[in-house]
Each structure stands twice: as structure tokens, then as C-alpha cells.
Structure 1
Amino acid sequence: MTTQSIELRHTFDEKVYGKRLDLALSETFEDYSRSRIQDWVKQGFVKVNDEVITSNKHKMTGFELVEVNAEVEVAGDWEAEAIELNIVYEDDDLLVVNKPTGLVVHPGAGNQQGTMVNALLHHVPELQNLPRAGIIHRLDKETTGLLVVAKTIGAHTSLVDQLQRREFTREYDALVNRVMVSGNSIDAPIGRHPTKRTAMAVIPDGRRAITHFRVAEKFLDHTHLKLRLETGRTHQIRVHMSYLKFPIVGDPLYSGRYRVPNRITPELKDILGKFKRQALHASLLGLKHPTTGDYIEWTAPMPADMQKLRDALVANREHFSNPEE
């Protein structure tokens, strides 16, 4: 990962008297979110009248010269690769991708190539100049569905700000173990698992995490859920469903040991035995367009493997509900 230098300069008038430094800067440099500016202040990238200020609560008095010399991470050394992308929408500001299972979003240790970022850089080379190649939010490698990517710094700032304000609409389809009676919400903090390095868990000192869910369809020993994220913690849906004892089918990290139901056809048993990834799909994404301000939604149907599993669950339910005489 490399960085790009950002240099900003502005002389304020008397109207900023009494305002916090971060507020005055975010109102002036509208292409950058307040949270990003707050980080720059904390890191010592901001000078007021040639003095480095590291407190966002610093009060402005008016007629100050403020200089910002910051660094933002950009794609840099990541390589562009001709990897096919399922793009469901694109304009000058953003694009929306329907991610398949098995595709890693960002390059990392052991995954420098073959990722969504590599594919995006081939499709839009200019993304190398944006933080995280324009990607606003992530999906786990085996989770499928909709992701939004900013194509300009202005769009990136707007979308990150919306996400931080919890203004995105994000709905998921999940097939979970056990039969859930009704929908509900869970507000349980999530943090790093105390003993499993690669896992997250509900822990008292974790970050607040809120998931809303409703029952879409019930089967004999499984449930099809529709879930909406209010927050966006790592593995949030997977952790919350496991915590509630309704782990997602096939989840290799959170589902635990699989219990074969008593009423199951050989066909369903075979499909469940071969389903080796979490049955989780980001099916709906909604946000305000960064330029027009209009609210837009996109949808993506469940991928073939989840649809096949869902159909097998339906057939299994019908088989035991209407036994042959």
C-alpha cells in the first residue's frame, strides 16, 4: 500500500469564531468527511498559524491560516488484472458490483492477486488514486452480493460519510440452522475472539453492533432470514446468528458441529454435506447518490448454490408434510 499527499490551505474570516477546528475544516473542505479530518488533526497533519494542533476541540478565533498536509492510502502497487466483474450499475461517480463467492475483496497477506481490487483497477485504472481503490465496505470472501465502489474522491467522501452515519440500506439473505419462530433485533457488542485469532465474538467490551432480522420462510429444521445491518462490524451477521444459536448454514467458523436432522431426504443431506461456505448473500443495497442526492436501491437474487439449497429445503419440507401413501 502506498500513500498520496493531500495539501490544503485556507485563511478563515471572523465567521468561524468559537467553532471547533474539525467542524470549521469539514465545512470548508467539503470533499473530505469530518471523521477523516478528525484523524488528520489527531495525527498532527494540521497547522493553525504555523502551529501544529492535535485537538479537534481547538476553538477557532477567526482570521487564522490553516494548512493541512496529510497522507491517504491509495491502491499504489496493487496490480490490475483482467478479472470478470458482475457490474450491476455504473456512472461517473460510482459502480455497484455483485460479488461472487470465493473472491477476496482487498489484497492482503497471501492474496496479492486475484482480488476484487485487482479487477477494479483493470476496469477503472483511476481507482489507484483513491483510498482502498474506492471500495467503501467489505464482504467476506465466501459471502456473495452487492458492494458499492466510489470512482472519485468526492463520491468516496460522500459514501463513507453516509456509511458512518448508518444511512446505507443493506439487506442480506441467510439460510440458518434451526427453526426461528419470529423476527427480532439483536444489539450485542462484537470484538476479537479472546482465543481464536481469526474469529470475532460477542464480548462485553466490544464495539456496539445492531442487526435486525425477520423470517422469510420456515423449513423443517432451517429458516430463511432477511437481515438488515444498522452497524457494520466484522463478521457481524455471522457472529450474531451464532450467538443466538441459529448459525448460518455452512459457516466454517461459527456454525459449530453440524447435527443431521431426523427428517431429511438423501438429496438434502447430500447438498448440506457439500455446502462449505456460509449461506449469506447481500441482496439489497440502498444509498443517496453522491452527486444528485437521489436515493437509489439495487437488488441481486440469491446465487445458484444458495437457491439450490433453498429449493432442496422446500422439497424436503413438502416430502415430510405430504408423505406418500
Structure 2
Amino acid sequence: MTQHVELNGVIDTTHLGMRLDQALADLFPDYSRSRIKEWILAGKVTLDGETVTKPREKVLVHQQVAIQATLEEEVSSRPQEIDLDIVYEDEHILVINKPADLVVHPGAGNADGTILNALLFHCPEIANVPRAGIVHRLDKDTTGLMVVAKTVPAQTHLVAQLQAREITREYEAIAHGTLTAGGTVDANIGRHPQKRTHMAVTEIGKPAVTHYRIAEKFRAHTRLRLRLETGRTHQIRVHMAHIKHPLVGDPLYQGRPRPTKGASEELQQVLKGFRRQALHAVKLELAHPVTSEWMQWHAPVPQDMVKLTEALRRDTAERGMDY
């Protein structure tokens, strides 16, 4: 099946010095760089109204980008009958509550068994939408709410809302250490210079902003509510580690597990058994991409985080707020 694609955007300062194909892949993240390169070579891309056909051409700030192209079925993954916890669904979008240990999109080491495979089974026509309608991701072991577009127009509008920071994504997390007040982390994030699978705070990274507030204090940990302005890979995990309060259980960013001084035997066992980042996408708010109705969903905190929170409360009550 062939669908018409119409995309518009503006080159901003973060793209300064980039090749055209790189800048457009960043500007329109739901289309692969190879796909965008094909469109450039085919004369489907204009800058300030002029057709450009050289992927290597350097872009300039404030240039107006327009893409008029056709899209063949882009998803080649196979449908798989995998249960999805669907919170909401209509003909344009669906919202799911993602469990832990489920990858969103096929990749190295995860060729199938992903949310994308499940979406293709649940809604076969979604194969005609880039990346099966996935407009934002959650890490493999992060739980909670994700919105998926079932049509190309719905995806285009949702991506525009994300880029304009108009979608509210709120998370619950449990971090090491006791924070005294809420705050904001405004620090660029990019690929770690030595560790291929890690991200890091770096001056040459992309802008990233995370707001956090204290939901509950424990003796040596803090339960947080966090809100994303941007959506960089591993953003909350990297930002919390950056301010020396990594998330409990984070396999990449908490460093060597640190024993909690004076912790009860129960808490020690719960912490030892918590083998994923304690992070859950608890609330999602957005304007419906077709009706513009403002919509909101909540996902209850999963049982492993509930168990951890209860153990932290008991430990704090038994030993006092000695921090």
C-alpha cells in the first residue's frame, strides 16, 4: 500500500553544521535516515522552496524544510500474538501500559518479541505507518504509558506535539539518596564517548530538560515524580545519575550497588532483588491528533515498585529518618 507523506519543519541551532540527511533524520525521527536520503536523491525535499538532491549539503539555521513523498509499507517485522495492556483505543490512536522486560522496537539482540510485533498482530494496517505508529519509546525495563498512532496523519500530529513539548509525560521513580527539594536538570545528553550502550551528559549533546519533585522521603532513598520536557534516550536515568541520585536498580547508571547503611534485612533483600531501573511512566496527557480533545491517562505503579516502596516505608519507620 502506498501513502502520501507531507512533512514540514525548520532547521534550528542544534542542526548547525549537519549534513542535510542527518538534520532531517533528527528533525523527523520517525523516518529512517536511509529513507530520508532516498527522498533527497529523488528530489522530494525542498529547502526554502528550492529542491535539493545532495544528502551531504550543509544546512543553515532557520531554513524551511518541506518533504513531499510517497511511503511504501515500511515495517518488515512479522506480527506476533503478544498480549498488550491497552488502556485506550480508537480508530486513530491507542495507549498501552508497557510491562517491564518488553522491548519497544526490534534491534540488536531483539529481532522479534517486541511491542512493534504485537502491534502488527493487533492492528495489521499499522504496517503502513512508519515504525508501526510508535512515536516515543520506553526503555526495555521501564514500565508505563505509551501512545501509538494507527494512521500516518495521527502520527504526524503526535510527533509535532512531541517536538513542540505539548505532550505531558510524568514518571514515578525511586532514587538513591535523600533529596531535600525538587528542581530541574537542564543538561545536554549525547552518546557516551567510550561506552557504546550508554548515554551521558555532554556539552555537544542534544538539549534535555527534566523536572522533578519529591513525592516521599525515606531514610536513604527518595520517591520522585518527574516530568519530561524533552525525550532523549535514557534521559531521566542519565539526569538523576548526573546529580548523584541514580535510580534504584539501574543496570547502567547506578554504578556498583551500594549497601544501605543500617537497612533492615527485608529492605536489603528487596533492594538486592530489584534488577531493573525503578521507573514508571505514570501519566500521559495530550491533545487527540484528530479531534484535538485534551486527554489524560494514568497507569498504576507496578507491584515490584509498590513492594519496594512499602519496604522503604517500613525501614524508615523502624529506624527513624536518620539521614
| Shorter-chain TM-score range | 0.7 to 0.9
1:199 corresponds to which residue?
198
Please report the RMSD computed on the Cα atoms of aligned residues, expressed in angstroms. 2.8
Is 1:107–2:106 an aligned residue pair?
yes
- 1:7–1:67: 8 Å Cα contact kept in structure 2? no
* C-alpha deviation, 1:71, in angstroms: 4.5
Rounded Cα–Cα distance in structure 2 between residues aligned with 1:112 and 1:270: 34
2:125 alignment partner AA: E
Q: Percent identity?
A: 51
Is 1:98–2:97 an aligned residue pair?
yes
1:190 corresponds to which residue?
189
- 2:72–2:128: 8 Å Cα contact kept in structure 1? no
TM-score, normalised by the number of residues in structure 1: 0.82
1:144 corresponds to which residue?
143
Rounded Cα–Cα distance in structure 2 between residues aligned with 1:58 and 1:271: 53
* C-alpha deviation, 1:257, in angstroms: 1.3
1:305 corresponds to which residue?
304
* C-alpha deviation, 1:254, in angstroms: 0.1
Name the SS for the 1:298 alignment partner: strand
* C-alpha deviation, 1:8, in angstroms: 7.4
2:230 corresponds to which residue?
231
TM-score, normalised by the number of residues in structure 2: 0.82
Alignment of 1:165-314 (within 5 A): 165-314=164-313
- 2:219–2:320: 8 Å Cα contact kept in structure 1? no
Higher gyration radius (CA): 1
1:74 corresponds to which residue?
74
Name the SS for the 2:180 alignment partner: coil
Deviations 1:123-176 (A, max 9, x none): 100010000000110000000000000011111111011011111000000000
Check 1:5–1:309 CA distance in 2 against 1; reply closer, same or farther (3 A cut): same
Unaligned runs of 5+ in 2: 10-26, 54-58
- 1:213–1:226: 8 Å Cα contact kept in structure 2? yes
- 1:79–1:121: 8 Å Cα contact kept in structure 2? yes
- 2:216–2:224: 8 Å Cα contact kept in structure 1? yes
Deviations 1:57-95 (A, max 9, x none): 889xxxxxx9944457721x2111111010000011100
Name the SS for the 1:74 alignment partner: coil
- 1:72–1:131: 8 Å Cα contact kept in structure 2? no
Deviations 1:256-297 (A, max 9, x none): 112212221100000101111000000000100012111101
1:133 corresponds to which residue?
132
Rounded Cα–Cα distance in structure 1 between residues aligned with 2:162 and 2:45: 25
Rounded Cα–Cα distance in structure 2 between residues aligned with 1:117 and 1:157: 18
- 2:8–2:67: 8 Å Cα contact kept in structure 1? no
Check 1:5–1:221 CA distance in 2 against 1; reply closer, same or farther (3 A cut): same
Check 1:159–1:178 CA distance in 2 against 1; reply closer, same or farther (3 A cut): same
Unaligned runs of 5+ in 1: 10-20, 24-34, 60-65
Rounded Cα–Cα distance in structure 2 between residues aligned with 1:307 and 1:163: 30
1:31 corresponds to which residue?
none
1:12 corresponds to which residue?
none
* C-alpha deviation, 1:53, in angstroms: 3.5
* C-alpha deviation, 1:320, in angstroms: 1.1
* C-alpha deviation, 1:321, in angstroms: 2.6
- 1:146–1:285: 8 Å Cα contact kept in structure 2? yes
- Number of matched pairs: 288
- 1:96–1:146: 8 Å Cα contact kept in structure 2? yes
Check 1:111–1:225 CA distance in 2 against 1; reply closer, same or farther (3 A cut): same
